[in-house]
Amino acid sequence: MARFASQPLVAVLGPTNTGKTHLAVERMCGHSSGIIGFPLRLLAREVYDRVVAIKGEKSVALITGEEKIVPPEARYFLCTVESMPMERDVAFLAIDEAQLGADPERGHVFTDRLLRARGREETMILGSETLRPVLTRLLPEVEVINRPRFSTLSYAGAAKLSRLPPRSAIVAFSAEEVYAVAEMLRRMRGGAAVVMGALSPRTRNAQVAMFQAGEVDYLVATDAIGMGLNMDVAHVAFASLRKFDGKKVRRLGVSEMAQIAGRAGRHQRDGTFGTLSLEGAQGATFEEEEIEAIEGHRFPPLDHLFWRDGEPSTESLDELIADLERRPDEPMLRAAPLAVDLAVLKRMAEEPWVRERTARRPGMVKRLWGACGLPDFRRTGAEAHSRLVGRVFRHLSEETGHLPVQWFADELQRLDNMQGDVETLSDRLAGVRTWAYIAQRPDWLADPKHWAGRARSIEEALSDALHQRLTQRFVDRRTAVLMRDLGARGGELLPVKVAEDGTVTVDDEPIGHLIGFRFKTDHRARHGDMKRLLAAAERRLGDELASRARALAADGDEAFTLATDPGRPVAIFWRGDVVARLQHGRALTQPRVHLHRALDVLTPADRKGVETRLEAWLVASVAKQLSALSALAFAARDAERAAPLRALLAPLAEAGGVLPRHQVEAVVEALDRPLRQEAALLGLKIGTLDVYLPALIKPEAMRWRLALHAAQEDGVMPEMPSAGAASLATPKDAALCAAWERAGYRPLGAQMLRIDLVERLARIVHDARTGRAAFNPDPALATSLGLRSPSFAQLMLALGFRPIGAEDERSWVWRGKRAKPVRDVRPPRPGNAFAALAALQAIGR
């Protein structure tokens, strides 16, 4: 990502769970101002909350059709794509899910933003890899960067509702299907949260919070979850693979399937997808080629985007319609299908009174087009919707130019009713969205701020009522049957079973799940009742946990993984669940294994068996993944090796195989030619600026080294540099910057360059000079690695060169020595023998 600042237009493409949106937020927050356009109001609201946490409420704005929060000093704007303030000059601008330019209904808006919306310093386009050919044709100056998915997505087949794994999302494509599936989950599994695009952000957030908190283990949603909404979903099950697209019922495209299935898995946690088998119905089925494409993230490239003139003429009604119906000249663009706003405009143009008013008063055509942009939230169709638009425009084109206060107030009052079922409240919310949209128009009401607040308060009340109805209808927390059995027979007499999938039942009633060694109580049982349930299950769970401990002790190495989620302690997972964490040990490569508290119930013998197996796996894994570092540490302890060489190997091993040369300069200078050759046989590279083992800066070895350092410091795992990246933007966080230096990247001002490439550049630059004569290095050297001019200048200074001439005509002269480092990034730890040696050297200087 190091070339962003030198390339003003960048496209970051890739599948779901690649961190594209997170990257855009980070980039925007690094600029003085910015705008990001999102496909959904829900997503804009979610990211708004994140940016507010970073920048504060006064600096952040939210703009959607129905909601506008714009503080006077706002510099960062989170918007729906349709609501992006195109007239505002900002340093950074991003468009999310840009492949929606191929959507027949809204695609022309995304295409318009791709072609016209730009940030002053940087513009970022986020989307699917399928967008690449269209993008490079339409925007030849764009730099395309691919982002790989953080985790694996795999097909898990079909599953019955009763066999769905916890943390599953079931996807349906109509409100009727969503409600039907949620009703079945309530009866069979205790309930589900419901998420649909038509829900208000407040209702959606309340439903998701219920799912995230574990109150329900299932979520039923429309394809709205495919647009980047972040939820902790392990499995996505498709109840159907067909949807109504506004014109006909059709099968989903494979890229649409992947967009939804990709919600499974979070960061580096793998996810699965499949279909839902419903009794008495023909279930959805994936084709083999579709499964292969989704798992491999390979989809047919887009060959067109939909387009409509984004700046049509409003001089006359006919010119406006002509511009909106004009066909594009570019072969990669297609004229957008007739949208609701244009269909309403054409119907309005047939009315004589509309013709008369738009012709008589200047600016009235633009006002009419604004009224036609009122969304059809209730999905009534162009004919019915045009009647509402006609009434709105009639008032807007009269003397005051405002909607009558009484009419607006009466319409809101009619919707201010919290009674009714889920469908009734959903319909009222759609109505409130219409009037909230009108209230956000700055010149449609005499007091828009007051009425926007009134609409918002009604929407919030309806949202809370809808959340309550959804929970009442689709979540059953009662455990009446189980409680009757307990009261009649006594807890100790109830048969307790643990199923293969970890479900713990008492008399065939589920009380929770055993995930690895962790018992998770059933959310439907009350806290007081759980004590009796746990007492009834205690003996059987003890036997099960002991059995699992023995299975772990006998398991093969492939059953264990090192979990290195950023911001979390480094952990060991067994069969997909945490069993231990790594803590400070005797040496970097010998961390201590600390068992998870869930294993405290094991007997001392079983705990010892688990500890011994985990330690054996850890030793073998370190030897495999960091064999060069293990060999280095062994050589540093070998008394038969020459003392000057061991004086270099010991601090290098302690540092994890990478050290800035200036920290051991005196030791390096003391090595004669045979000792340098001996060091080379150990794989050691004594470079111009760094001393390191090249094998240790490969991605997997780098991950293990950072994990061991985090364990040695009893800290959390830092974010990993992009796998295989040559150069990176220097993090603003000092701790993360230090971690990346330790990983093998050298800071050069605003950028960092991998140290093996630093040495390669150093060698090429020195080969290019002739003694101390001034010379100009080939600029392609730095450009090929994504290194900008200021960073390359930092490198030249560090290598011992000095600049001559103006910046645009700069030459370089060899000074005969390397520049002294500005700071010691990682001084030896106090109390260490090498710290004492460094102190003596400082006195000598």
Give the three-class secondary structure for 165.
coil
Q: Which two tokens stand for residue 131?
A: 């967008």
Residues 6 or more apart whose CB falls under 8 angstroms from that of 79 comprise: 35, 36, 37, 38, 44, 62, 63, 64, 85
> From start to end of 459-615, where are the E strands?
496-498, 503-506, 509-515, 518-521, 560-563, 571-574, 577-587, 590-595
User: Rounded to whole angstroms, how far apart are CA atoms 76 and 24?
Assistant: 12
Q: Which two tokens stand for residue 353?
A: 């009174």
Quick check: 813 and 772 in contact, CB under 8 A?
yes
Q: What is the pLDDT of residue 836?
A: 47
Give the three-class secondary structure for 440.
coil
Identity of the amino acid at 408: F
User: Rounded to whole angstroms, how far apart are CA atoms 650 and 636?
Assistant: 5
Query: By C-alpha distance, which of 683, 674, 678, 677 is closest to 638?
Result: 678
Q: Which two tokens stand for residue 428?
A: 């009222």
* Domain ranges for the chain: 4-146, 153-296, 305-401, 480-554, 555-695, 721-845
Q: What is the pLDDT of residue 819?
A: 57
Q: Which two tokens stand for residue 742?
A: 């330790």
Longest dimension (CA), the chain: 103
4-146: CATH topology = Rossmann fold (3.40.50)
Q: What is the pLDDT of residue 10?
A: 95
Q: Which two tokens stand for residue 101?
A: 């330019």
Quick check: 180 and 279 in contact, CB under 8 A?
no
User: Rounded to whole angstroms, how far apart are CA atoms 156 and 477?
Assistant: 29
153-296: CATH topology = Rossmann fold (3.40.50)
Handedness of CA 111, 113, 118, 119 (dihedral sign): negative
Q: Which two tokens stand for residue 533?
A: 């349930």
Beta-ladder partners of 813:
802
Q: Which residue do the tokens 């001559």 mark? A: 804
Mean pLDDT by 10 residues, the chain (845 residues): 54 86 94 94 89 96 90 95 94 95 92 94 93 94 87 87 86 87 80 83 85 85 72 88 81 86 78 82 81 86 93 92 93 92 93 91 90 88 91 90 92 92 89 91 90 91 90 64 39 62 72 81 60 58 86 94 94 93 92 92 92 95 92 90 92 93 91 91 92 93 94 93 90 92 93 93 89 85 86 90 82 77 46 48 41
User: Rounded to whole angstroms, how far apart are CA atoms 222 and 209?
Assistant: 17
Q: What is the pLDDT of residue 228?
A: 56
Query: By C-alpha distance, which of 397, 416, 418, 420 is closest to 408?
Result: 416
What pTM, to 2 d.p., does this model score?
A: 0.56
Identity of the amino acid at 274: G
* Within this chain, domains 4-146 and 153-296 share the same CATH topology: yes
Q: How many CB atoms lie within 10 A of CB 337?
A: 14
User: Rounded to whole angstroms, how far apart are CA atoms 15 and 130?
Assistant: 9
User: Rounded to whole angstroms, how far apart are CA atoms 626 and 637?
Assistant: 17
Q: What is the pLDDT of residue 405?
A: 92
Measured between alpha carbons, how far is residue 164 from residues 125, 274, 522 in Å? 36, 10, 16
Q: What is the pLDDT of residue 3?
A: 34
